[in-house]
Amino acid sequence: MVDKMNLLEKNEFLVKHLISAGVLKTPRIIEAFKKTPRHLFVRKDYLSHAYDDIPLPTYLGQTISQPYTVAVMTEALNPKPGEKILELGAGSGYQAAIIGKCVGTKGKVITIELESSLAEISSKNVKKVKLKNVRVILGDGKEGYPKEAPYDKCIITAACDEIPKKVIEQVKTGGRIVAPVNNFIGQKLIVVDKISETEFKKEDLGSFVFVPLR
Ligand code: SAH
């Protein structure tokens, strides 16, 4: 049996590792990682690897992202208390839960998942860390979720050829989108700031590997 106390200590170690690797910087985000133990989001048969800094299988060939990647993306998104955030690809719910902790009770996370089994699992997982401000929606993320729009920010956790048009429309002017985008050699993680309806500022965070947005 895996010792629960041991797992919580391992989460502290993982957080320290991400800080010393230079990816976790913001106190609010560090706190969110501490309050979101990854072992609650991984499959039972991978429990002993919950705190390895690697992606792990969820179901249906999908994955829970590597903690390093989750840290880079969360820092890039910089979710603040009270913000409303859209996520595409709920998966295990781990990334959504971390954002949920960052935006707090006055903020909200809407996360869309294409696979019903994963939507169910992620919905259960976020409840384990006592979050009421994270809502999992079963559907195609490419449509966004107009009912709750506009969003302050959006995070896409599966690689797309281009950021879906509807998602760009549903993000506020002054808002931000963090997404892995395919290019001819692989995938680049990009940060797009929506300056106006037609003007965008783009920053490239380098190469990462994601499952495809379908
Ligand atoms: N954020 C997740 C990791 C997501 S992996 C976590 O923290 O665990 C990418 C997820 O995107 C997979 O679960 C996959 O089923 C989902 N996905 C793929 N295409 C999608 C689409 N068009 N709309 C919504 N979800 C999609």
Per-residue pLDDT tens over the stretch 66-109: 999 999 999 999 999 999 999 999 999 999 999 999 999 999 99
Instruction: Answer whether residue 1 shows pLDDT above 60.
Output: no
Distance between Cα 91 and ligand 1 center (Å):
5
Q: What is the pLDDT of residue 2?
A: 59
Q: What is the pLDDT of residue 184?
A: 84
Q: What is the pLDDT of residue 4?
A: 66
Q: What's the token pair of residue 172?
A: 């506020």
What are the backbone angles phi and psi of residue 43, rounded to the nearest 5°? -65, 145
Atom 11, ligand 1: residue with shortest CA distance = 89
The fraction of the chain above a pLDDT of 90, given in percent, is 94
The span from the CA of 30 to the CA of 24, in Å, is 6
Catalytic residue among 48, 65, 117, 196: 65
Handedness of CA 21, 24, 26, 30 (dihedral sign): negative
Q: Is 48 a catalytic residue?
A: no
For residue 204, count other CB atoms closer than 10 A to its CB.
11
Atom 14, ligand 1: residue with shortest CA distance = 89
Distance between Cα 162 and ligand 1 center (Å):
16
The span from the CA of 169 to the CA of 86, in Å, is 12
Instruction: Give the pLDDT band of residue 186 (cuts 50, 70, 90).
Output: confident
The span from the CA of 159 to the CA of 62, in Å, is 12
Q: What is the pLDDT of residue 71?
A: 98
Ligand 1 site, CB within 6 A: 62-65, 88-89, 91-92, 94-95, 112-115, 118, 140-142, 157-158, 211, 213-214
Ligand 1 pocket: which of 58, 115, 138 to mutate (most atoms within 8 A of CB): 115
